[in-house]
Amino acid sequence: MVRAAVLPAVGAPLEIAEIELPEPGPGQVRVRLAAAGVCHSDLSLRNGTMRVPLPAVLGHEGAGTVVSAGPGVTHVAPGDRVVLNWAPSCGSCPPCADGEVWLCESALTGTGRVHARTADGTELHPGLNVGAFAEETVVAANCVLPLPGSIPLTDAALLGCAVLTGYGAVHRAARVRAGESVVVFGVGGVGLAVLQSARIAGAATVVAVDVSPEKEALARAAGATAYLVASDTTAKEVRGLTGGRGADVAVECVGRATTIRTAWESTRRGGRTTVVGIGGKDQRVTFHALELFHWGRTLAGCVYGNSDPARDLPVIAGHIREGRFDLGALVTERIGLEDIPDAFATMLAGRGGRSLVVF
C-alpha cells in the first residue's frame, strides 16, 4: 500500500488515502516518485473543466526511480531515473504519422484503465495517465522517459509538464526568433518556463504580465526585461515597451477570454499569439471580421507545447547542464501530499510559481 491524493468526484476535496497498486504487467513500469508538480491542469480536473474517469489519483508532472518493469519493457530497468510523460504518443494515428505527436488521438486512453484500488476495493483511475500524486505509480512504458544523470531528480519533475510546455510554446509553437519581442501573460510554473525559454531563444524584449505585483522578482529572474501588473491598459503599455508597434509574439498561460484577447491586442500587425492556458467552455473570445483582416495577426492553440518529449527532453537537458535553464527557479514552495489543497488555493489566488510535492 502507498499513500496517494485521490479525487472522488468533480468538485470534491482531495482525499489522502492508502492505495494498492498492481504489479506491472506486460509493457508497464512501476515508479517510486521523488517529486510531483502541482499544475493548473490538476485544478482543471478537480473543477471539471477537463473531464476524466473518476475517482482518480491526480498528478501528471513527476519524476522518480524505476522499481520494477513488466515483460517487454527494454528502454528502462530497475534503478533508472525517469520523467513521467502524461501524454504518450501511439506512433500510428494520423497526427503521429504527420509528426504531430502532441495531438495523438490515443494519448489519453490510459485514463480509462483501472490504476489502483483503495483499501475497501474502490477502483481508481490515473487522472492524466500517470497518477503522480502518490508515493509510487504503475504506468505504461511509453509514459516514462530516461532522465540524464546530471539533472537533480526532484526538480526534474517539472520537465514532465511545465518545462516541456513552456519550452515548446516558445521554440515549437510560436517559433520565437533571436531579436524578437515577446510578452508572456501569467507568471506561474509554465509562464516562468516560457520566460526562461524566450531568453534562451534570444528574444530582445521580454515582457511579463500578471495580476500579482509580488511576482515581479520571479519574472525578472527568469528573464523578463519588463514587468506589468495586468490592467485595462496592458495592451497599450506593451506597445509602449516595443517601439509603439506591439510585441512580435504573445504567449498566454492563463486560459481566460479576457487575457487571450489582451494578448492578441498586445502584438504588432502580423504578430503571433500562442494560447497555452486551458480555459473552460464558457470562456468565449470574440473578434470582428475587419480587425482580423486589418491586423493580419495569428492566434493559435498549443497542446503540451507542441513538443515531442523524446526529441525535446534531451535538448532541454543540455540547456540545464549548461546553466541556461534553471529548474529550481520555477519552484516557490516544496510541500507534502496533504498540502495540495493549499497549493490549489495559492494557484487560484494568483500567488507563487510552481508548488512541488516532495516525497
pLDDT digit string (tens) for 20-69? 999 999 999 999 999 999 998 898 888 888 888 999 999 999 999 999 99
Residues 56/87, Cβ–Cβ less than 8 Å: no
Whether 141 and 251 share a structural domain: no
The percentage of the chain sitting over the pLDDT mark of 90, rounded to a whole number, equals 91
Residues 97/77, Cβ–Cβ less than 8 Å: no
Residue 68 belongs to some domain of the structure: yes
- Strands (E) in 230-322, as ranges, are 247-252, 267-275, 298-301
The angle at the Cα of 354, spanning 143 to 276, to the nearest 5 degrees, equals 70
Whether 219 and 239 share a structural domain: yes
For the cut 90, the answer to whether the pLDDT of residue 196 exceeds it is yes
Whether 185 and 151 share a structural domain: no
109 contacts: CB under 8 Å, gap ≥ 6: none
Whether 136 and 18 share a structural domain: yes
pLDDT reported for residue 53: 92
pLDDT reported for residue 40: 87
Whether 226 and 268 share a structural domain: yes
DSSP β-ladder status, 247-252 and 267-275: parallel
Dihedral, CA atoms, 63, 65, 67, 70, nearest 10 degrees? 60
For the cut 90, the answer to whether the pLDDT of residue 263 exceeds it is yes
Residues 63/77, Cβ–Cβ less than 8 Å: no
Residue 314 belongs to some domain of the structure: no
Whether 154 and 169 share a structural domain: no
Whether 237 and 279 share a structural domain: yes
Residue 309 belongs to some domain of the structure: no
* Largest interatomic CA distance in the chain: 64
Question: DSSP assignment of 98-134, as one string?
Answer: TT-GGG-TTTTGGGGS--EEETT--EEEETTSS--SB
The percentage of the chain sitting over the pLDDT mark of 70, rounded to a whole number, equals 100
Q: How far apart are CA 197 and CA 104, in angstroms?
A: 24
pLDDT reported for residue 145: 95
Q: Amino acid identity, residue 133?
A: F
Higher pLDDT, 13 or 149: 13
Q: Residue 270 belongs to what domain range?
A: 165-304
The domain that holds 198 is classified in CATH as: 3.40.50.720
pLDDT digit string (tens) for 223-254? 999 999 999 999 999 999 999 999 999 999 99
C-alpha closest to that of 132 among 275, 319, 4, 44? 4
Residue 280: CA atoms inside 13 Å, Cβ hemisphere, count?
8
Q: How much is the mean pLDDT over the chain? A: 95
For the cut 90, the answer to whether the pLDDT of residue 149 exceeds it is no
Whether 128 and 212 share a structural domain: no
pLDDT reported for residue 342: 92
Q: What are phi and psi of 82, to 5 degrees?
A: -140, 155
Whether 9 and 114 share a structural domain: yes
Whether 194 and 143 share a structural domain: no
For the cut 90, the answer to whether the pLDDT of residue 266 exceeds it is yes
